[in-house]
Structure 1
Amino acid sequence: MVGESAADTTAREALLDRAMGPKRKKKSSEKLRRGRRPSEGLAFVARDASGVVVGTVRLWDVRLGEGGPAALLLGPLAVEPGLKSGGIGSALMPPLFKPGSTLMRHAIAEAARLGHGAILLVGDAPYYGRFGFSADRTGTLAMPGPYERHRLLALELKDGTLDGVKGTIKAAGRKIKGQAPGFVA
Structure 2
Amino acid sequence: MIVIDREGASSHIDREKLLDRVMGPDRFKKSSELIRAGRLPADGLAFVAHNGKHIIGTVRLWNVDAGNAGSALMLGPLAVEKVYNGSGVGAGLMYAAINAAHDAGHRAILLVGDPQYYARFGFVAAPAAGLSMPGYFDRHRFLGLNLGENVLDGTRGVLRPTGRYKAH
State TM-score, norm by structure 1: 0.87
Q: Which residue of 1 aligns with 2:29?
A: 26
Counterpart residue type for residue 52 of structure 1 = H
> In the TM superposition, what is the alpha-carbon distance from 1:23 to its structure 2 partner?
0.3
- Mapping for residues 36-51 of structure 1, pairs under 5 Å: 36-48=39-51, 50-51=52-53
Q: What are structure 1's unaligned runs of at least 5 residues?
A: 92-102, 179-185
Aligned with 1:47: secondary structure?
Answer: strand
Query: Structure 2: any 5+ residue segments left out of the alignment?
Result: none
Counterpart code for 2:77: P
Instruction: Answer yes or no: is 1:106 the counterpart of 2:106.
Output: no
- How far apart are the structure 1 equivalents of 2:65 and 2:24? 28
Correspondence for 2:136: 146
How large is the Cα RMSD of the aligned pairs? 1.0
Rounded Cα–Cα distance in structure 2 between residues aligned with 1:107 and 1:148: 23
SS in 2 for 1:168: strand
Q: Which residue of 1 aligns with 2:82?
A: 81
* Aligned position for 2:55: 53
1:149-164 superposed matches below 5 A? 149-164=139-154
Alignment partner of 1:134 is 2:134: no
Q: Percent identity between the aligned chains?
A: 50
Distance (whole Å) between structure 1 residues aligned to residue 147 and residue 28 of structure 2: 28
Deviation at 1:173, TM superposition (A): 1.5
Q: Which amino acid aligns with 2:122?
A: G
Residue-by-residue CA offset, 1:96-131 (whole Å, 9 max, x unaligned): xxxxxxx10110000000000000000000000010
User: 1:159, CA displacement in angstroms?
Assistant: 0.7
Contact 1:116 1:158 in 2 (8 A): no
Per the normalisation by structure 2, the TM-score is: 0.95
Match of 2:108 in 1: 118
| Cα separation, 2, equivalents of 1:47 and 1:177 | 26
2:71 is matched with 70
Within 2, Cα distance between the matches of 1:25 and 1:56?
A: 16
The match for 1:2 is 5
CA distance in 2, matches of 1:35, 1:14: 18
Conserved in 1, the CA contact under 8 Å of 2:108 and 2:146?
A: yes
Aligned residues: 165
One-letter amino acid of the counterpart of residue 155, structure 1: L
Shift of 1:75: 0.2
- Which of the pair is proportionally richer in strand? 2
- Write the letter of the residue equivalent to 1:40: D
Tell me the distance in 2 between the aligned counterparts of 1:112 and 1:137: 17
